[in-house]
Structure 1
Amino acid sequence: MNGFDNAILTFLTQHAFHSGFANHAIRALTEFYTVKGLVLTTVLWWMWFAQDERYAANREMVIATIAAGLLALVVGRLLAHYLPFRIRPIHDPNVHLHFPESTYTEPTLRFWSSFPSDHAMMWGAIAMGIFLVYRVVGVLALLYTILFILLPRVYLGLHYPTDVLAGLVLGIALACLMTRDAVRTRIAAPILHWIERYPAPGYTFAFVLCFEMITQFDDLRVATEAIRKAL
């Protein structure tokens, strides 16, 4: 563990809440999908239906932002798979730190590399897309991502600080790339045209996609794992 990670984790564990209720509440923040993804996804829907002079451009930005979030999630999980494995702090006996609610034992996390944080990559990309459309709302979205999605995961020992910082930077970079005029227009224009022409299947698909984004496709992962074990 590098000095930066050690300093942050030591500070957090030394100043950890001594209230069981507070620690349970922080753990809940890492588990409730309504906290992790629903808030930012709701902002995207608000941006989609907002009636202002940038109506069409905003819709393109929403599509590009969703594309960036999905790409960030895929890239994050590929990096976690192919980069050297990094055990999570809560599971590493060499860390010698006591994390609040250290009984957090989701089985898959033991075998899922800590670096980079796919939460940071995906929701960092979504928050950055919001920022590129509405600066004030975007700043709040970025702060929300850091304080309510990422920091609790570091506090509970699910990630090192560098896991979430690297993921956040990569997610923001992907959002900036996907929302550039040349890329955004090529991706968003045909999708926007299809939704406007076929609104019923278009919005149905958008709803299902957003639901899966909020859960980070966990149901598909669980189903895949169950099928793999059955075979």
Structure 2
Amino acid sequence: MWNNQFNISALSWLWHFASMSAAANQIVHFISGSNLFKGLPLMSILWYFWYRDRGIKSATRETIIGTLIGCVVAVLIARAMNNYGSFQPRPFANALLVYPGHIGLPAPNSQALYLWSSFPSDHAALFFAIATGIFLISRITGFLLYLYVLIFIGLPRIYLGLHYPTDILAGGLLGAVCVAVGTRASATQLFRRHFRMILASYPAAFQAGLFIVTVEIGTLFGDVRMLLDGIVKYLPR
């Protein structure tokens, strides 16, 4: 899947800049790994729209709940494809590509990066899903967020050799489709009555729980994955 002219040309052009500036590479590396530039801005905007329209029967709030459900489904599908689909090495670990290395940065040493297939990008699936949900609420804001996700989340991961452009495109399409389906009227009516009832009866508890959910979604379930990894280590074999 990676071996096409589009991927090779894009990586070849981007990697021309890999040896130009250690400081620039370190900035890109920080942005790529920082929740300050990934989940936090998008979740903040999601919460802005949540409180902008406070009605119990708010279509905006139903769209947000559908968006969060779609995000979770998109990440689960992406991870299933990573684990059970045909293996595709990440660009920096692909022996058939000439990876130049990035000046000022250490070589990637996480074993997970070598063992997980790169296709599709779960980052792209998650954050394009959120951008799609916001686009359904506000076209202008959503369009700007699509650009933001592409520039600040997708492009750094391609530049650093973590993903091919097609990984990002496939993940983005997956996320957008999951949210488009999850926010359809036929889907929202599956949770509408229960959502309204719980929000009306326990508004503080519901929104506190929702805040925790958005934090975990915005950080790609980092704490949950660490917890599960820890539990698995102590399970009898």
Question: TM-score scaled by structure 2?
Answer: 0.91
User: Secondary structure of the equivalent of 1:34?
Assistant: coil
Aligned residue number for residue 136 of structure 1? 140
CA contact 1:59–1:192 (8 Å) conserved in 2: no
Q: Give deviations 1:21-66, integer Å, cap 9, x for gaps.
A: 1110100111111211011111110011114899711011111111
Alpha-carbon separation, structure 2, partners of 1:24 and 1:165: 25
CA contact 2:31–2:37 (8 Å) conserved in 1: yes
Aligned residue number for residue 191 of structure 1? 195
Aligned residue number for residue 31 of structure 2? 29
Is the counterpart of residue 61 in structure 1 residue 42 in structure 2? no
Aligned residue among 94, 107, 118 for 2:111: 107
Aligned residue number for residue 120 of structure 1? 124
Aligned residue among 206, 212, 220 for 2:216: 212
Aligned residue number for residue 48 of structure 1? 50
Aligned residue number for residue 177 of structure 1? 181
Aligned-residue offset at 1:175: 1.2
Q: Which amino acid aligns with 1:111?
A: L
Alpha-carbon separation, structure 1, partners of 2:120 and 2:59: 32
Aligned residue number for residue 12 of structure 1? 14
Q: Which amino acid aligns with 1:142?
A: Y
Aligned-residue offset at 1:218: 1.4
| Larger displacement relative to structure 2 (183-192 or 153-162) | 183-192
Number of aligned positions between the proteins: 231
CA contact 2:89–2:117 (8 Å) conserved in 1: yes
Q: What aligned pairs does 1:214-229 form with structure 2 within 5 A after superposition? A: 214-229=218-233
Q: Give deviations 1:52-111, integer Å, cap 9, x for gaps.
A: 899711011111111111111111101111101111111122211214236132232211
| Larger displacement relative to structure 2 (136-145 or 92-101) | 92-101
Structure 1 unaligned runs (5+)? Answer: none
Q: Which amino acid aligns with 2:132?
A: M
CA contact 1:90–1:102 (8 Å) conserved in 2: no
User: Secondary structure of the equivalent of 1:33?
Assistant: coil
Alpha-carbon separation, structure 2, partners of 1:84 and 1:66: 28
Aligned residue among 148, 153, 159 for 1:155: 159
Aligned-residue offset at 1:200: 2.4
Structure 2 unaligned runs (5+)? Answer: none
Q: What aligned pairs does 1:68-87 form with structure 2 within 5 A after superposition? A: 68-87=70-89
Alpha-carbon separation, structure 1, partners of 2:206 and 2:158: 38
Going from structure 1 to structure 2, the CA distance change for 1:192 and 1:141 (only over 3 Å counts) comes to farther
Identity of aligned residues (%): 35
Alpha-carbon separation, structure 1, partners of 2:113 and 2:199: 37
CA contact 1:68–1:175 (8 Å) conserved in 2: yes
CA contact 2:50–2:61 (8 Å) conserved in 1: yes
Question: TM-score scaled by structure 1?
Answer: 0.93
